[in-house]
Structure 1
């Protein structure tokens, strides 16, 4: 009698895929599990966020959440659990105030009649100075995480090992730091233009 290694069944049920992903952490299995629901998740996100780009971003952010959450929890009914996860994600996005408001201005409104342009090197120097100020305005933990991730190009796992922080905390620090840097830089650039 010969033993042949088991070949993964392409018609595996959701429960089997969930179990295999929970055990192995194989992202291909998670992709196979999530892909049939991506259109439904996108539609749900469009319903709540009312913005095409925000809904697309949400679909990917929800997948990132699945990477972690499905390894931590046992899920019996994936479709209903995913619906609840997606709905809660959208509600949190709306609560966080990330929804941009667009205001239309008449075409005849200008800041100045004479166009003023900085040459490229002056603009880069001003942007670097603004970036340094914005980085120093971050919390100490955010500064360290952002510096390690962007300037030293370390991974989340390397940063977690080096700092002794939990992987999710590192991810949160980098995301919040990036958001705070973006807000600060937009404010600085706006001030430069005045």
Structure 2
């Protein structure tokens, strides 16, 4: 986190984000009446009016966390800074498309997946992305909790690999690639009812597997 400590200075943080966001015609002005709103309230406000100032104010709360995640994966300070901005751009559309119950956890997963996609493009890494909806727990996310969350995500990847072939295929297509039941049926030749069953059972088995791994680690 040392290369990014300068961004703890509010003026420098604003200067960096404003200079980048202005490339897209976005303002980055903190409204006084938004500073006391909760994450959930800001999410609802943004979804209601698509105000980019609201989204910027919400995102600023977690820039240091997101930078830390990106630096952990990308191993390059400048690439991590670029990723912070690119993830913000993803949020503009995705936050309106998804029902988000825990913004910190959802944002962590979104950021991690973004970095994994970058690594896959650049180095041909084989990685398993985690759907944002899987990780909306009530657990608070902050920089000190990154390692713990990383362990949970690694556990989920391993459990996904352990699913029966049909469950793994259907879960991957449905949650990771956004395919509908009908699309999965066409692509795999599996009957619609079986697709639904594989997805439901696969998600349940993932949960059981992760709970077992957590218990074994105690």
TM-score tier (shorter): 0.3 to 0.5
Higher helix residue share: 2
Query: Could you state the TM-score of these two structures normalised by the residue count of structure 2?
Result: 0.41
Query: Could you state the TM-score of these two structures normalised by the residue count of structure 1?
Result: 0.46
